[in-house]
Structure 1
Amino acid sequence: MADNASSAHTKLDFTTFYNVIDGKLCNSSTGKTRCSVNPATLHDNPQVPLSTRDDVDRAVETARKARKAWASTSWAGRQKALKDFADAFEANGAGFLDLLIKEQGKSAKESQIELWLTLMFLRGLSDLTLPEEVVENSDKRKVISRYTPLGVAAGLVPWNYPIFLACVKIASALVTGNTFILKPSPHAPYCDLKLAELGLQFFPPGVFQALSGDDELGPWLTAHPGIDVVSFTGSVEVGKKVMESCSKTLKRCVLELGGNDPAIVCQDVDIEAVAPKLAYFALANSGQICVIPKRIYVHESIYDRFVAAMAAFANAVSFKGDEDPSIGPVSNGPQYERVEGLLADIESNGLSIAAGNTKPLADQKGFFLAPTIVDNPPDNSRIVTEEPFGPIFPVLKWSEESEVIERANNTEYGLGASVWSKDVYRTERIARQLEAGSVWVNTHAEVDPKFGSGAYKSSGIGVHYGVEGLKEYCNLQVLYTRLG
């Protein structure tokens, strides 16, 4: 058992890692540990606790005891705690940056972007409120609509953006008056454990806890009757299992699942400006972002020139994190093997490659793959129908507007989409027909804590960000008062 950090200091030690339960740093109940590997070097990262069902029960019991006092804390008091937490996170930025690179594999630039996004959302979500609303005030009755916290929230966080996605859930749950249990991905647990350790200095015991573990830990949390809401970000396949598990105790679940975002490029774009920008978006974090362009449809009249410009960008990408543009490795072994399988499928089907290659890089030790562009593959090929989640994407040719809209919508996913054109009437006409929770014009994957982000079809249930996202952690209560 480690000592609780002093409230007088905000500096963290980034060499040792513990669970956070009941206001204390601790190992698992059995003392067992595990580790992930650095995806760039394949060296073992430090040991982290391997939590047990007993650890889960203890964390949930503590969270339930703490929930009433935290819910009764004023909204302003909860906002201040979160903003102080954000300030302390910023003060520890260098440590988090170094740790994120080692556990997730992002380049230094992309890691800095994740930290910047995290701070923007911690502070932005902390600024939001859900005030009571008088919906009727007549001589006969007064009706008030208000939101109350659900109770205990659990956040299941993936490995691709471990700090940012954790802090969106943390801020949304805590500012609305819920207590929160964080479960990091087994592939990237380190920064998230440090977030909870940092939280010891700003939140009462039991308000913000964290548990590290393997693949058994998630099901223990989603099935636990003492948890009132689960927020999960991850694959469609696992999301369905989370929803099934939550249904057995009728707990709420918020699911942010996979995406296969189309980007529709019209014939009037500035090729030299748009092509590298789209290639950058598609290859960001080695393609491991759910809401980046993964199918790029380019009008036939500019197709060859546009693909050549994208290929030039992809071929210039470096694996050295201090160069620009650069990307890191695929984040972990299982995902690396999955992307290798897609590359093998491309090769076996004789699909054309505009940039990169289908073979692993012999001169790289870690999980590195060359940025690869597939040139106009069939619409039913795996690289078009599946979400690659790696540094590989297809570019496809189109001619008629109605046809490309139908092709863009022909997917089980509906997370994001974008349209690129100088004609604002055309972009709005196309954008309004796309089946996606977020549609961008002349940009992609732009997010803001003030605006909600939802999903169509299999890409998720519920809303993240904005006041709509806060409501996912609340009950709606309507107070009726009969007058006279």
Structure 2
Amino acid sequence: MATNIRGNTPLCFDTFHNIIDGELSCTAETRHTVNPATLENNPDAPLGTVDDVNRAVRAANRAADAWAKVPWDERACAIRSFADTTEQKSEDFVRILQKETGKPMIWARHELATCVKYLRGFCRLSLPEEVIEDAAERKVVTRYTPLGVIVGIVPWNYPVQLSCVKMGAALLTGNTYIWKPSPHTPYCSIKLAELAQRFFPPGVVQILSGDNDLGPLLTEHPDVHMVSFTGSIPVGKKIMESCSKTLKRVVLELGGNDPAIVCKDVNPADVAAKIGFVCFCHAGQICINMKRIYVHEAVYDDVLAAIVGLVQTLKLGLGEDAYMGPITTKEHFEYLKSLLEDVERRGFNVAIGSTKPLSDMKGYYLAPTIIDNPPDDARIVVEEQLGPVLPFLKWRDETDVITRANNTKTGLGASVWTRDMEQAERLRKKLKVGNVWINTHAEIQTNITFAGHRESGFGVAMGINGLKACCNAQSIYTRPADAIVQY
């Protein structure tokens, strides 16, 4: 059964359906998640099937040619209108985003604001034809044409922000977009996709919610032309293998174990405040978060003491004054518990926090925890925590700290903290990552290319290069009709 939702039909945040070809689409079976802060059941969400996938892909292909013919400025106008209305209704989205992710109010609002910012930011970009050569005897131009149908597979930590990055680039370049949210966090995404029906023709923006079996149906589908995935390295490898069967394009933004290198000339209190602000945002569940903090031995004790003081001020919960919420999924909560059990088993020093979950809070809560100078082979150092558990490590020699920072198969981001810009330049040139920040961390924007090195990614997102990733390149060679070509 399908229900038409064109026009200004009010959004209902109690019922959730897939959206196929501009209509609400019911499914025979549903599933639900739990609120990670309260462990109460969230509403039923659709459980998509192979038939839903086939119908959505057919609708996306039907819509693709017409959407590609819409002028660039008109496509940008539609995206801006969608962003404007999302902003107007953001508090409704914030409430449901909190229930599925456990984000405190500050970070749920931040995610919605970032979605709006990114959608508007893409609309300021353009991808005109590139004139490579323009002479009397020959003109050469390269242009970029849409691929067709792009699938965005999105993780649970930033379910709407990360999809807006994928969707904005896909729609602006003339592609249709099928949104596949994480099984853990489908709700806010479904409602945003429902809102999108007011601004885009049927089939241009669709959403399919389901379990983990749904993803392979999309990645293997011969009529899907690109898959953009953000998530874990093991799943990214499976997606790349699946896409290879039909030679469809793939962009992967995978995990990272980002190092931060703190030099001896910093102001300890200032750096600790900035690092703590990033590291404990959304309980550390950010792919480009700092995961290993290397602090020069000359300031190690002062920086550690300053961040311990900061952590003591952080309030947990969901309210207006809360800074850190719970872990979003039970599976990841159990993983982080195993890392903390290893810390306890190996007898590492816990500067602040706990190796046990917070027993006085009902949800998946862990205390913000700092591990004081564990060995480099500790799981808490080697593995990506993606949580509020942070190892602080001492260093003395530049060559040594660079070797340690690069001693990982990943390469998403890294930061250097120093007043000495010459030292910053020396260090940043040797870091094997896609994104380097000096005296800041985790800043990204739509006009700047975002990429991961090594096992942190394949392909690029954002910026002009991110737009090109959604396109086929076509070069046109033109000579006068009466020209004689000498080979």
State the TM-score bracket (shorter-chain normalisation).
over 0.9
1:314 Cα deviation from its structure 2 partner? 1.6
* Alpha-carbon distance in structure 2 between the residues aligned to 1:468 and 1:325: 38
- For 1:439, the equivalent position in structure 2 comes to 436
- For 1:281, the equivalent position in structure 2 comes to 278
- For 2:239, the equivalent position in structure 1 comes to 242
- For 2:339, the equivalent position in structure 1 comes to 342
* Alpha-carbon distance in structure 2 between the residues aligned to 1:257 and 1:336: 19
Between the aligned residues of both structures, percent identity stands at 53
Given the alignment of the two structures, is residue 352 of structure 1 paired with residue 339 of structure 2, yes or no?
Answer: no
- For 2:26, the equivalent position in structure 1 comes to 27
Given the alignment of the two structures, is residue 264 of structure 1 paired with residue 254 of structure 2, yes or no?
Answer: no
1:2 Cα deviation from its structure 2 partner? 5.2
**1:99-178 to 2 correspondence within 5 Å?**
99-178=96-175
Local SS of the residue matching 1:98: helix
Given the alignment of the two structures, is residue 313 of structure 1 paired with residue 310 of structure 2, yes or no?
Answer: yes
Given the alignment of the two structures, is residue 299 of structure 1 paired with residue 324 of structure 2, yes or no?
Answer: no
* Alpha-carbon distance in structure 1 between the residues aligned to 2:23 and 2:337: 42
Given the two structures, how large is their TM-score scaled by the length of structure 2?
A: 0.97
Local SS of the residue matching 2:450: coil
Local SS of the residue matching 1:432: helix
CA contact (8 A) 1:352 1:374 kept: yes
CA contact (8 A) 2:143 2:474 kept: yes
Local SS of the residue matching 2:461: coil
CA contact (8 A) 2:106 2:322 kept: no
**1:456-475 to 2 correspondence within 5 Å?**
456-475=453-472
Given the two structures, how large is their TM-score scaled by the length of structure 1?
A: 0.98
Q: 1:229 to 1:206 in 2, by over 3 A?
A: same
Deviations 1:412-435 (A, max 9, x none): 110000000111111111111111
* Alpha-carbon distance in structure 1 between the residues aligned to 2:65 and 2:422: 52
1:172 Cα deviation from its structure 2 partner? 0.7
Local SS of the residue matching 2:476: strand
- For 2:11, the equivalent position in structure 1 comes to 12
Local SS of the residue matching 1:316: coil
1:91 Cα deviation from its structure 2 partner? 1.4
1:92 Cα deviation from its structure 2 partner? 1.1
**1:181-260 to 2 correspondence within 5 Å?**
181-260=178-257
* Alpha-carbon distance in structure 1 between the residues aligned to 2:320 and 2:148: 46
* Alpha-carbon distance in structure 1 between the residues aligned to 2:88 and 2:3: 21
1:260 Cα deviation from its structure 2 partner? 0.6
1:219 Cα deviation from its structure 2 partner? 0.7
1:277 Cα deviation from its structure 2 partner? 1.4
* Alpha-carbon distance in structure 1 between the residues aligned to 2:218 and 2:124: 29
1:3 Cα deviation from its structure 2 partner? 3.0
Aligned-partner residue type, residue 38 of structure 1: N
* Alpha-carbon distance in structure 1 between the residues aligned to 2:452 and 2:260: 16
Aligned-partner residue type, residue 165 of structure 1: L
Deviations 1:339-380 (A, max 9, x none): 001011111111111110101111011000000111100001
CA contact (8 A) 1:4 1:200 kept: no
CA contact (8 A) 2:367 2:388 kept: yes
**Alignment counterpart, residue 375 of structure 2, candidates 378, 382, 389:** 378
* Alpha-carbon distance in structure 1 between the residues aligned to 2:428 and 2:372: 25
* Alpha-carbon distance in structure 1 between the residues aligned to 2:248 and 2:322: 44
CA contact (8 A) 2:105 2:320 kept: no
**Alignment counterpart, residue 61 of structure 2, candidates 60, 64, 71:** 64
* Alpha-carbon distance in structure 2 between the residues aligned to 1:135 and 1:326: 51
* Alpha-carbon distance in structure 1 between the residues aligned to 2:23 and 2:148: 21
Aligned residue pairs total 481
- For 1:364, the equivalent position in structure 2 comes to 361
* Alpha-carbon distance in structure 2 between the residues aligned to 1:303 and 1:148: 53
* Alpha-carbon distance in structure 2 between the residues aligned to 1:62 and 1:325: 43
Local SS of the residue matching 2:19: strand
- For 1:480, the equivalent position in structure 2 comes to 477
* Alpha-carbon distance in structure 2 between the residues aligned to 1:169 and 1:391: 27
What 5-or-longer segments of structure 1 have no aligned partner?
Answer: none
* Alpha-carbon distance in structure 1 between the residues aligned to 2:420 and 2:131: 43
* Alpha-carbon distance in structure 2 between the residues aligned to 1:142 and 1:270: 57
Structure 1 runs (4+) greater than 6 angstroms displaced = none
Aligned-partner residue type, residue 16 of structure 1: T
1:482 Cα deviation from its structure 2 partner? 1.9
1:325 Cα deviation from its structure 2 partner? 5.9
Local SS of the residue matching 1:357: coil
Local SS of the residue matching 1:307: helix
Q: 1:158 to 1:376 in 2, by over 3 A?
A: same
* Alpha-carbon distance in structure 1 between the residues aligned to 2:53 and 2:6: 25
Local SS of the residue matching 1:144: strand
CA contact (8 A) 1:155 1:166 kept: yes
1:315 Cα deviation from its structure 2 partner? 2.3
* Alpha-carbon distance in structure 2 between the residues aligned to 1:411 and 1:393: 17
What 5-or-longer segments of structure 2 have no aligned partner?
Answer: none
1:334 Cα deviation from its structure 2 partner? 0.4
When the two chains are superposed, the root-mean-square deviation of aligned CA atoms in Å is 1.1
CA contact (8 A) 1:415 1:456 kept: yes
* Alpha-carbon distance in structure 2 between the residues aligned to 1:96 and 1:362: 30
1:83 Cα deviation from its structure 2 partner? 0.6
Given the alignment of the two structures, is residue 52 of structure 1 paired with residue 45 of structure 2, yes or no?
Answer: no
Given the alignment of the two structures, is residue 40 of structure 1 paired with residue 37 of structure 2, yes or no?
Answer: yes
* Alpha-carbon distance in structure 1 between the residues aligned to 2:336 and 2:187: 24
* Alpha-carbon distance in structure 2 between the residues aligned to 1:359 and 1:200: 45
Local SS of the residue matching 2:3: coil
1:464 Cα deviation from its structure 2 partner? 1.1
- For 2:92, the equivalent position in structure 1 comes to 95
CA contact (8 A) 1:316 1:325 kept: no
Local SS of the residue matching 1:479: strand
Local SS of the residue matching 1:136: strand
